[in-house]
């Protein structure tokens, strides 16, 4: 009788445990790295939002200084 090939996935006993451990370790490391990248992106977004209000404040200060300089020039 001819044996039919099994369509089920199986792990061969010749695969070393060290290989399985290394692949798992790499997967965990990748997850930690992606998490740190996401945190840096979120921190940059917060810094950019905080910096945008600084630009508006600087524009108001410049306008006030121009007004003061014009008044001083008139006197």
Sketch the domain layout of the chain as residue ranges.
Answer: 43-75
pLDDT digit string, tens, across residues 14-56? 888 899 999 999 999 999 999 999 999 999 999 888 877 787 8
- The pLDDT assigned to 55 comes to 79
What distance in Å separates the CA atoms of residue 54 and residue 47, rounded to the nearest whole number?
Answer: 11
What distance in Å separates the CA atoms of residue 43 and residue 36, rounded to the nearest whole number?
Answer: 10
**Of the candidates 23, 20, 4, the residue with the CA atom closest to the CA atom of residue 12:** 20
**Of the candidates 61, 60, 39, 41, the residue with the CA atom closest to the CA atom of residue 49:** 41
- The pLDDT assigned to 69 comes to 94
Q: Which of 3-7, 41-45, 54-58, 62-66 has the lowest mean pLDDT?
A: 3-7
Q: The whole model's pTM is what?
A: 0.52
């Amino acid at each position: 009788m001819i044996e039919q090939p099994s369509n089920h996935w199986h792990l061969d006993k010749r695969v070393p445990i060290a290989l399985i451990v290394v692949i798992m370790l790499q997967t965990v490391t990748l997850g930690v790295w992606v998490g740190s990248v996401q945190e840096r992106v979120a921190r940059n977004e917060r810094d950019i939002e905080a910096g945008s209000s600084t630009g508006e404040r600087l524009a108001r200060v410049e306008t006030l200084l121009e007004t003061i300089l014009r008044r001083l020039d008139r006197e």
